[in-house]
Structure 1
């Protein structure tokens, strides 16, 4: 056992007696060890030995529950409490509990507000973003002015005429393609060579040769 651990074990009875009197509630040896070990460096064996010693001396009380023992301060050393005093303590506990709940609720609200403020943009970031948006908006405004100032606008009538011409030419395209296909098929019925050789000899160029695709109607 180290010197420090030995000194802690020697002073364990007095330390544990004060602890049980101050807390005035029942504890197992494991509870006491867990509560005081980190701060005072007490070993589990030293805690058990000191509690048993205090109980044998009658300075604390112990009760056994199966294999486990519970230790607590001797209640004879405390002044008797009347029913009126107990009621006053209960009222005080209820009042303090209400205050604790109110403070906890305020803390939750403040934590939520802090989280919102932490995730929000800082003033320099907001100024920088505002400047970027103003510049972007200015660009759109200049573009809009250029469009409005242009003199080559297409009128609705001209637009409608373009659509009508497109439909007309696509219709004629389909018609002539169908006629040419039917004519070629008729010739190929008596042609001794392949369709490709026929097109090469005659010099026929197809839409597919130029990746030309007939628009959907």
Structure 2
């Protein structure tokens, strides 16, 4: 079974040639496109989350032979959280290859953090099933490389870091404002804007208010540090 042009391009960006192309096709198929004879990526997502966790656990232990569990845990969480998976997915333009139902396409599904993060985990599982642990490990370490090196800073909670930044300059705490909500009641999507008294703002969209607030805070921190 051959791959379409968009999936061949994605395969090249992943750096893994699939012996079983149907695994990659399933990994990018959202549940809104599932149906008779067409499996979605939810089961692969479940597996990929565990594979990613094992690879990152080993990588962190190798990177710092003296770190205690209390130091490793926040670093681990920063590397495997959905927002990080979605960021990696954006870097390899995974959204362009997603197979989505019409409703998800119209609501901007290719840019949604939750969909991208889930699909990235599913792709990891697809590589693992197709090529084994070493193939998945090599891909993850290549795609996550710079994040592993800078994880000490990234592991700090973004909202806490932004509040500390504001307090250190004598400013009131940042304000988080819900500016939009979309999607069905059982699966809402929130857009949150974070605002500083000085006028700086940043916005993010996610499947939960907490995730949107964290991503907005991280985006504003990056602006301020730049």
TM-score tier, shorter chain, comes to under 0.3
Greater gyration radius: 1
Q: Which has the higher helix share?
A: 1
The TM-score normalised by the length of structure 2 is: 0.20
